[in-house]
Structure formats: structure tokens, C-alpha cells
């Protein structure tokens, strides 16, 4: 109970502030994009670079930690795509988006602020590594799969290099992660001015991202899904994302891989996050489940208020 009071309530109170600001139109809908733009292009990259640049080479290259996150990610992705292709008879493109929604968490906008609030600033390093691992593995799989599917369906020539490079390596989040990892591994000294700049700018990432998340929820129209099949699909993807993935991660860090307590708890907590907004980017890019994905993100975020509370009490 004390954990919920000390960590969960303050975090979701910031989200609630954004929700209230949107409901009473204190900030217009355009403010959501402006705040997200600020976090995505400036504050979060600064936080991630600052966190990783000061990490040790051993932390950056922790194979056990990376394998925990890769395995939990891939297992849930494969499970989801089998379920939605076989049981729900979805097309391959729809199955990819459902699988991504069932395995890709909101590590940047919600996860990093959450673990820092729960475990302290030192948790930013493993959180940043998880963020990069998710992007590198899952976005690559989804982009390559969509491009190959397009190639086979239309019998057209398609280059996979450009879409993968743009989606995985050339966005500001992953660019900052690569820069921070390079500085840490090569042990390049960072000037004090850059440290102060990234530390100051990065400090705004957490509260701004959380506030923007609440603001975005206030302007989201979840709508209503008619039919039993829609309810079953939403329940299935949320069960995999909010329950099965954290259980798999807990099993891996408890019985398979040996990690220190901080890194193990960070991995478990980030595995329990709701669906990340990048899934909506992929849905828009490939014109698949465009109407459903925003509802899925909103619903999983709302449900995660309760599941995350339970999970934090469990792991601490």
C-alpha cells in the first residue's frame, strides 16, 4: 500500500492533471502535439543521452539483461500473431499490428518516468537500454514484415534498407541512445556544458510526457466496439500485454537469468506497461487498423492504472 501511495499515485496524478486540463479545455487539442513534439525531439533524447553516457561499458553490454527483454518481447509477439491469425482469422497485416500492440510497451513516455519515480535516477540506464531494445527488435520486425508482404502481394521491387533505417535508427530517441551508448562504450569524456545541458533539459521529460499522456487521453474518442468479437480481441491483446508479458519477464529474471535487484525490477515493471504510441505510427504508416489502434492504446493505458499498481506491490 505504501508503494502505491509513494509511487503510483504521484505518477498518475500528473496524468490526471493533463486529463483535467484537456477536459476543461485549459489546453487545446493542438497542445497535445506540441508537448509530445517537445518530449520526443528534445527532452527525452536529452535524458536518454545523459543517462547512458554516464553508464559503464559492462552495463551497456549486459547480455543477460538484454536477453531477458528480447525473449519476453519475442515470445509475446509470436504468441499474439499466432492467436490473431489462427483464432481470430485476421489478415497478416492486421495480425502484425495486433502482435505489436500486444508486446510493445510505452517505455518512453510512461515507462522511463515511472521507473525513475519508483527506483531512482539510476534506473534510467536499464530503462534506456530496454527502450532501445524494443525499438531495434520490434520495429525492425514489423517494418521488414510489412515491406516483404507488400513485395510478395504486388510483385514489386522494394528496398528494406530505407524504411528500416528511418524507423529504427534515424528517429531522435534511438539516435540519442546510439550516441549515449557510443560515448559510454568508447569512454569518451563528455564536457561539463553538455552534461549540464542534457541533465537540465532531460529533467523535464518525465513530468511533461506524463502530463501530455493525460492530455491526449482527454481528447481521445475511444468510441464503442460492437460485437462479441471486438470485445474478445481487446481482451486478448490486453491480457497478453498487461499480464502474460510481465509474468514471462518475472519468470526469466527469477529462474533463468541472474540480474541485480534494480535491473530485474526495472525489466519487470517496463514489461507491464500499456501499449506504446509508436504502434499508432505503424498503423497509420501501413493503413492497418487505423481506427482501432488509438482505442487499444487508450484502453490499455486506463486498465494499466490498476495492473501496474498490483504489479509494483508484487515486485517490491
pLDDT tens digits, 263-296: 999 999 999 999 987 788 788 878 898 878 878 8
Q: What tens digit of pLDDT does each residue of 193-217 get?
A: 999 999 899 888 878 877 887 887 7
- CATH class for the region spanning 2-315: mainly alpha
For 37-68, the pLDDT digits (tens) are 888 889 888 988 988 888 888 888 889 999 99
pTM of the entire structure?
0.80
User: Could you tell me the three cell numbers for 121?
Assistant: 535516477
Contacts of 110 (CB under 8 A, 6+ apart): 209, 210, 213, 273, 274, 301
Tell me the C-alpha distance between 187 and 158, whole Å: 39
Per-residue pLDDT at 222 exceeds 60: no
| 111-132 confidence digits (pLDDT tens) | 888 888 888 888 988 998 998 8
205/49 Cα distance (integer angstroms): 12
Amino acid at each position: 500500500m505504501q508503494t502505491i501511495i509513494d509511487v503510483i499515485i504521484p505518477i498518475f496524478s500528473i496524468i490526471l492533471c493533463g486529463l483535467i486540463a484537456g477536459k476543461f479545455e485549459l489546453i487545446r487539442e493542438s497542445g497535445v502535439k506540441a508537448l509530445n513534439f517537445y518530449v520526443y525531439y528534445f527532452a527525452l533524447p536529452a535524458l536518454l543521452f545523459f543517462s547512458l553516457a554516464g553508464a559503464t561499458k559492462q552495463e551497456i553490454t549486459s547480455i543477460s539483461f538484454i536477453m531477458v527483454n528480447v525473449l519476453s518481447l519475442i515470445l509475446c509477439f509470436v504468441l499474439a500473431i499466432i492467436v490473431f491469425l489462427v483464432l481470430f482469422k485476421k489478415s497478416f497485416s492486421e495480425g502484425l499490428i495486433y502482435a505489436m500492440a500486444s508486446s510493445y510497451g510505452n517505455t518512453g513516455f510512461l515507462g522511463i518516468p515511472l521507473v525513475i519515480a519508483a527506483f531512482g535516477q539510476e534506473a534510467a540506464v536499464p530503462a534506456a537500454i530496454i527502450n532501445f531494445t524494443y525499438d531495434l527488435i520490434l520495429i525492425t520486425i514489423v517494418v521488414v514484415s510489412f515491406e516483404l508482404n507488400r513485395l510478395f502481394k504486388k510483385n514489386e521491387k522494394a528496398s528494406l534498407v530505407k524504411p528500416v533505417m528511418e524507423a529504427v535508427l534515424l528517429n531522435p530517441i534511438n539516435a540519442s541512445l546510439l550516441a549515449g551508448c557510443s560515448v559510454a562504450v568508447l569512454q569518451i569524456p563528455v564536457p561539463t556544458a553538455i552534461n549540464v545541458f542534457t541533465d537540465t533539459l532531460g529533467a523535464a521529460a518525465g513530468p511533461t510526457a506524463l502530463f501530455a499522456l493525460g492530455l491526449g487521453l482527454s481528447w481521445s474518442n475511444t468510441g464503442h466496439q460492437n460485437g462479441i468479437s471486438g470485445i474478445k480481441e481487446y481482451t486478448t491483446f490486453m491480457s497478453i500485454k498487461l499480464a502474460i508479458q510481465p509474468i514471462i519477464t518475472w519468470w526469466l529474471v527469477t529462474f533463468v537469468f541472474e540480474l541485480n535487484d534494480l535491473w530485474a525490477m526495472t525489466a519487470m515493471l517496463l514489461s507491464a506497461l500499456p501499449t506504446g504510441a509508436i504502434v499508432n505510427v505503424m498503423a497509420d504508416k501501413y493503413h492497418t487498423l487505423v481506427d482501432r489502434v488509438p482505442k487499444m492504446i487508450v484502453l490499455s493505458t486506463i486498465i494499466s492504472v490498476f495492473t501496474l499498481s498490483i504489479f509494483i506491490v508484487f515486485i517490491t
